[in-house]
A = this chain, B = another copy of it.
């Protein structure tokens, strides 16, 4: 009965309801979306927000300096604001190429705007969200505009802009626009006033800067915290990392919908040249083979092909053997540089590093690097420290959701001379660095805190850990065995006087002489014995 009554009422009302609902339908700008969901971008609380602001700006500075192939010098300043204890002023300045005046407003005042999105080339930033999200956060919490100074070269004017982000339209709003004097040849400075909290310790700005200076030993970072303490993370090397080159997509990684889109958009006149021009590793003979397998001559005009045609191509691709994608789109830290970076910031007695050869997942090249710092002043009775990196950026949050952490915890460290409870980190005086780099790192969220669980990535991380584990084990075995051997010889040395006494009684020789001779033999033989042990 209740249902009947309801249906009667509603059949009269129904037209009105759909039309009434239609009035509330509207477009939501991406900035409105992220204003409401700013925790998705990592701006959860004042402490983390401070880290995010520094991180987004510093990551951009590194990318800019790499584009220009200049040794980065990055200045980070955090100051408290008089009378507002929950607010901070954050400034980041670099010696990168600077930004042309026309681009400044949108780079800083518009979400989803940038030069790096979709580009197949390793870099720190990629989404076109980070720095404008920081600007949006500043304005949301303090109402203050972003202040940007930039200069693109000697003799060029330095521009100073103050701007807001209009969250309703996702467009920049310029408040001030001046030419200023700036005693700098090229570079960019951004200053934001935010609701933030400065604390030292784990997951702090201090830790982030220390860790990024390990993965970028060619950089100098000059850091002043709100307490007025100045720390310089000095350059460990003047060698620039390899410059990564942009590559084209590999056929094995393309999805049907993307293939269809590429076919419509290509400037290639026929199918075979589309395949060779728009993809990497497709030679004309491979293109011909794909076309033939899919039932085409190769002369078809790509934009005139149908969905069914695209499906045939899509199904033909995996049947043809195509060389793995080029890996010059990647830029490893390098074994030597990794060790340099670690030595700079972590005091230990043994260092080792491994850079693995690139591998591929979903058509994207990637590689894994590992390094260890062992012994010395590091605490021996605690769980090891794992420093996770993706494209040279340290990851400080969501450790347990990250496939890097998972791989470390699942590795059998007992095989490499460390003690470990099942499924946990080992206990040892050890700092472990793991770096995953790719043209496209699959993060579990926009805030880029953890690497998603791709089996190919986990496998490579584990192999890198094993390679590093073996180096570590060699060292541990050597030192531990050497120590044990030394202890044994010491013990023997202790017994020499007693032995000498007994032999003196038996032989009638002088005790002192026997004693000296025995000592001589022992000393002479020790290196040989040690040598044999370590062989």
Contacts and interface: CB of A to CB of B under 8 A. Distances in A.
Interface of A: 2-3, 6-7, 9-11, 13-15, 17-19, 21-22, 24-30, 32-33, 35-37, 39-40, 44, 67-71, 97-100, 102-103, 106-107, 110, 112-115, 117-119, 127-128, 139-144, 152-154, 156, 167-168, 185-186, 238-240, 255-258, 260-261, 307, 310-311, 401, 440, 442, 444-446, 452
Contact of A143 (B100, B141, B256, B401): B256
Nearest to A98: B18
A56 to B, nearest CB: 16
Given A25-B113, A27-B110, A32-B118, 11 more contacts: A11-B186, A21-B67, A21-B97, A25-B103, A25-B114, A32-B117, A140-B255, A142-B256, A143-B257, A167-B257, A444-B445
Given A2-B239, A15-B152, A25 B115 contact: yes
A117 B14 contact: no
User: How many of these chains are in the complex?
Assistant: 2
A44 B445 CA distance: 12
11 contacts: A10-B70, A17-B97, A19-B100, A19-B152, A21-B99, A27-B113, A28-B118, A30-B112, A33-B112, A140-B256, A168-B261
Contacts of A128: 28
B70 A7 contact: yes
A103 B19 CA distance: 10
B152 A115 contact: no
Q: Which of A18, A26, A70, A185 has the most chain B CB within a 10 Å cutoff?
A: A18
Contacts of A152: 14-15, 17-19
A139 to B, nearest CB: 5
Given A10-B68, A261-B167, A18 B143 contact: no
A39 B186 contact: no
B114 A28 contact: yes
A21 B186 CA distance: 14
A156 B25 contact: no
Nearest to A401: B401
B112 A11 contact: no
B258 A22 contact: no
Given A28-B113, A143-B311, A152-B14, A6 B261 contact: no
Given A25-B113, A110-B27, A6 B69 contact: yes
A140 B258 contact: yes
B68 A17 contact: yes
A22 B98 CA distance: 10
Contacts of A9: 69
Contacts of A22: 99-100, 102-103
A312 B422 CA distance: 56
A389 B514 CA distance: 86
A286 B450 CA distance: 46
B112 A257 contact: no
Given A28-B117, A128-B28, A156 B71 contact: no
B118 A36 contact: yes
A8 B67 CA distance: 16
A140 to B, nearest CB: 3
Contacts of A117: 26, 28, 32-33, 36
Contacts of A445: 40, 444-445
A70 B6 CA distance: 7
A339 to B, nearest CB: 19
B10 A69 contact: yes
A473 to B, nearest CB: 33
A261 B173 CA distance: 14
A36 B120 CA distance: 12
Given A25-B107, A112-B30, A118-B32, A186 B18 contact: yes
A390 to B, nearest CB: 14
B26 A113 contact: yes
Nearest to A164: B257
A106 B27 CA distance: 9
Contacts of A32: 117-118
Contact of A257 (B19, B110, B141): B141
A307 B87 CA distance: 15
A25 B106 contact: yes
A13 B186 CA distance: 11
Given A71-B3, A113-B25, A97 B452 contact: no
Given A21-B115, A115-B21, A167-B261, A15 B153 contact: yes
A114 B26 CA distance: 6
